[in-house]
Structure formats: C-alpha cells, structure tokens
Amino acid sequence: MFRNLRISIFIYYFLTVTTFLAVFYYFLEIVKVDNLVVVVIFLVCFIILSGIFISKLSIDPLVDYVHNLQALSKETLHELNLPISTIKSNTQMLKKNVDDEKIIKRVKRIENACEMLELRYNELDYMIKMQTKQEIKEQFFLNDLVKERVDFLQKLYPNFVFHLDLDPMELYSDKRGLAKVIDNIIDNGVKYSLDSKIIEISLRNKTLSIRDFGIGMDEVQLLQIFDNYYQANKDMQGFGIGLSMVKRYCDTNNIELVFDSQKGVGTTVKLQFK
C-alpha cells in the first residue's frame, strides 16, 4: 500500500515540476509575454492546486488506514470483554466450591493472569479514547487509586514491603493515565532497589511521594532520566521509555514532577498536584 503511494506521489510531483517548467518556458520564450504578473499569478494558482492535490493524494490513504485500524481496535476490544468477564466469574465460582490447596493456587494464578489481561484491555481502551480525543477525566480519590495499584503490584513483587501513609485526596483527572504513572514509578523503585525490599509511599498536602532505598542516581544521571530509551543500568530489563511517559503525563495535567536522588542511598519521586 505505502510503496504504491510513494510511487504515485513521486510520479505526480515529477509531472507537476515538469509542467511548471514547460509552462514557464512557453510564456517567456514562445509567447514572449511582457506582463510577467499574469504569468506569476497563473503559476501560483497552478502550484496551489498541485499542492492541494498532492496533499490529498498522500494524506487520504493514511486517514483511511488509521480509521480502519481504529475500527479494528474497537471491535477487538469489544470482543475481549466477554471472555475476560467469563474467566473472572467462573474462577470466582470455582474458588467457592474447591477445598484442595493446589487447585486453589492454580485458580489464583488464573485470576492473576486474567487481571493482567484486563489491565491490557483497559490500556487499549485508554489509548483509543486518547486518539479519538474522548473525555477521559473522572472524579476519584487518589489514596484509593494508590492502594489499588499497590495491591496489584504486590502480587508481582511478593518479596517487597510497601509502607503506605495516605491522606484522603479527591481528584478530577485522567485516572488510567495516572495509574500508569504510579505503576511506572513504583516499578522503577523495585527494579533499582537491589538489596532493599522496602518502598515507602506517602500522600500529604497534595503531594504523592514514592521512595525507594536502592542504588540512587547522581546529578548527571538525573539530567538524562527523561530521555527516551535511557537506562541508568543497562543490565535491567525494559526499554527506558517509562519516565519519559511519566513526565509527558505530568506536563499535560499540570503536575509538578520532582526527583530527589543520591547515589547509594535511594530515590524519592514526588508528584505535586496544583
């Protein structure tokens, strides 16, 4: 599709430039028009019409492609909803009727996998709404959201201890986007904690603080953390895009993002809500 599009644009551009030069030569050398203003006006109109046609030729197929992709995403999202709901309801029924510890553990694994699948479902739904400029803000309590995310991450990191000190705080904001921000910050804290297994999270005076006691960062590293694909430790898994996403969300939603880190001591990340 895109190969043919490139060829079509190139051919039309080549023909347009050739025609432009031929018309210009015709008026100047053959017709020998003295009034160049008429020639210039004609050529400007020709260039504008050619530009409109080239832009239409190049953009319309891309618009159709994006619309088809969005339609496919919405249909896929709709179809995923039923199996996820079915798995959740059936695992809950199984847990009530089973006493065997091994089976209960297996059911619990299915529940955790289903929860992760539901998270991907919500992220896809979130991305579709972001692309189509739908309203994604809602009223919620930040302290409840933090507890919810910690409960989820505790299953992924059972060896870690999360100390919570959360004051109630109500927000009207992009809840799903903020959940991704919290997940990324905590995940980084866990990833770079190494020997320490403690994460402290507090919510006071409209400031959410997430502190780890890991390897920390020096001033040079702090200047690079928001660069795409940057990783303080190249041996760690990941793509180095988490903190750039965190900063982009904070900038968009008028949240001040503050990093306080010391090499060998740990890192504190603060989200200051205005």
Query: Is residue 243 domain-shared with residue 168, that is, in the same domain?
Result: yes
Query: Is residue 113 domain-shared with residue 208, that is, in the same domain?
Result: no
Query: Is residue 33 domain-shared with residue 154, that is, in the same domain?
Result: no
Q: Domain of 219?
A: 137-273
Tens-place pLDDT, residues 57-114: 777 777 777 777 767 766 776 677 777 778 877 887 887 777 778 888 888 888 888 8
Query: Is residue 176 domain-shared with residue 255, that is, in the same domain?
Result: yes
Query: Is residue 237 domain-shared with residue 209, that is, in the same domain?
Result: yes
Query: Is residue 45 domain-shared with residue 83, that is, in the same domain?
Result: no
Number of domains in the chain: 3
Pairing of β 198-204 and β 161-166: parallel
Question: Which of 31-40, 76-85, 185-194, 203-212 shows the highest mean pLDDT?
Answer: 203-212
pTM of the model: 0.57
- pLDDT of residue 139 exceeding 50, the answer is yes
Higher pLDDT, 167 or 24: 167
> Any idea which of 57-61, 149-153, 186-190, 194-198 has the lowest mean pLDDT?
57-61
3-state DSSP of the chain: CHHHHHHHHHHHHHHHHHHHHHHHHHHHHHCCCCCHHHHHHHHHHHHHHHHHHHHHHHHHHHHHHHHHHHHHHHHHHHHHHHHHHHHHHHHHHHHHHCCCHHHHHHHHHHHHHHHHHHHHHHHHHHHHHHHCCCCCEEEEEHHHHHHHHHHHHHHHCCCCEEEEEECCCEEEEEHHHHHHHHHHHHHHHHHCCCCCCEEEEEEECCEEEEEECCCCCCHHHHCCCCCCCCCCCCCCCCCCCHHHHHHHHHHHCCEEEEEEEECCCEEEEEEEEC
Q: What is the average per-residue pLDDT within 196-205?
A: 94
Amino acid identity at 13: Y
- From 131, 161, 178, the end of a domain falls on 131
Query: Is residue 173 domain-shared with residue 233, that is, in the same domain?
Result: yes
- From 84, 101, 131, the end of a domain falls on 131
Across the chain, mean pLDDT equals: 80
Query: Is residue 143 domain-shared with residue 262, that is, in the same domain?
Result: yes
Query: Is residue 19 domain-shared with residue 96, that is, in the same domain?
Result: no
- pLDDT of residue 240 exceeding 50, the answer is no
